[in-house]
Structure 1
């Protein structure tokens, strides 16, 4: 028992768990700290392989097992690796596996590679987030007024998807642990556009990544944006939000609406987008002509047309009545016989 306590202590104070795989056999003790020195020694033992370094904010995707099929793998719960250049995973099972597969697409089972996924522990992450929050508190007020634009290209069709909000998006929930977060801009490599627009953004208040998956539908030459799935990976929460607003436009047109657009699930979860403008098929990365949510014939316009029509009808009736009046063609004259007008009932 005396030697088990230091091992347990090392595991508790370690910064991250580490998952490794290679085409060569890995001999790593899961009970010892795995530091950069051990990592360097392992690389030398494997013949200086080509290293791929990934970082995940939540957990390892279960779909990774399909990517590493045929490789040797090892899991170390008490790692302490700090590499400046790494590939950030999105916190989504399918997207993470696809990103790893795409990164390793040019390799094969005979390639000498060593891949690493680091998953920081939440306690350590919260300490970093606390420091980051304290440093950025002064910037938050100005950031919450800045406009936001999410932009990505679909490499298959060479078309851009763009989504604009005049200020950071607001995500509100009303579940057992309610929160209210403002979602600002995010790096372009955190946005993926395929059949959906996937946006991975860290809230201005700090904390875990929020994943927004905007669904895109096409019908008779019109595209629409009917719903968005909001994923909070760290807390394993998902919200399927829809909108009553008809967010749609013809091909190569953008959609625009002043005020705010709301996506909700009816249970208290809501996503607000301010002065929304969106387009999913831009050819040059710029918004096309806008299809505005305010139609040409609004209620005030209809009211004005109705009143004008009534006044026009009254004027026509009056003119017709005036034109129908018949005047006499002969008048009284003292030199002639008096006029006699016969009135019959």
Structure 2
């Protein structure tokens, strides 16, 4: 840890010492590093012991005390995956800093008035940081695109929680080093904008899970006998938001955004990447959300709203979803099935272009027969965002009488019919008015005169 009175050289040596001691004493399983620096100052904290993994409760206790009073502007850089090995392999703490891909992060740590390095934090606990900061700051996290940060008006006298989602994925056209370098450039760009705005801030850089996990099993830790199944809570990602004049205009959220650019290619999950919103626009009648992904794929959502006299209200429709990749494009129409009142959002558990398709391929384009789209837990709103950073009431694509409801109704009706028929048969039973034994002698009654 470095305090306000330390020089940059002493602070740098302290950071290196903590990392070196930790790397020699600990493995990379079950924890992620957390870097924190501030241009304003935070309460002091003792340096972590080498090889010690900081538990979630202690991290929450420190963050709660640090942001308990006064307004704060927090920049939360959440990378999809992050491990100490990333700093070991691609960082410059052990060699020439010119070769480090974390140049901007390391420069911020060295030049800030206050910085902390936690080499090991229990990684399930890092997913709860946004919720904890939201509770302490009193403001919801706002997913911000670095390109639009300079146009965003921030209240320096109040609290702000800005969330920056950083990807961590490799492919045939982009290596891990290039991804980390791009993320570091995003951090540097954000810090430059904050410096230009002259707003004090506190930055947190960590990962949602380790990028390299080494299984560590111990017989003493293995449960013996029966045990209850444990459930884990998935991390809820912040929605993609496009702002116009510092006001939210378009919001989109999906658990999974998968596309396939040919019938034989594998699915590409775009939800794991962080897009830019260049080319997006919004007005009172038309909205266009353009998602430019680092993989080279561009997805566009074109929406419009109009007044319908029959219902006496405005309705919005998702007119077109367009994919662009390697100079080729494919278009899909959704206006027939994807619609909602203008002041509502649209939600659907599954939006596809190939099975129970809500997105109908445009036959005028030859690529649409090969390109496929699959959105899971999809929600979008292009107009009437009166709730700020929250979706309005959702109009769901699922009808009221679903297949399960119809099965239940038909089964109940069949059971009622069987019950009624049985009652009717019971009510038709009559008691015999005469009892006779056909095997015995007949009854004779003598008559007397």
**Greater CA radius of gyration, 1 or 2?**
1
Task: Please report the TM-score for the alignment, with normalisation by the length of structure 2.
Answer: 0.36
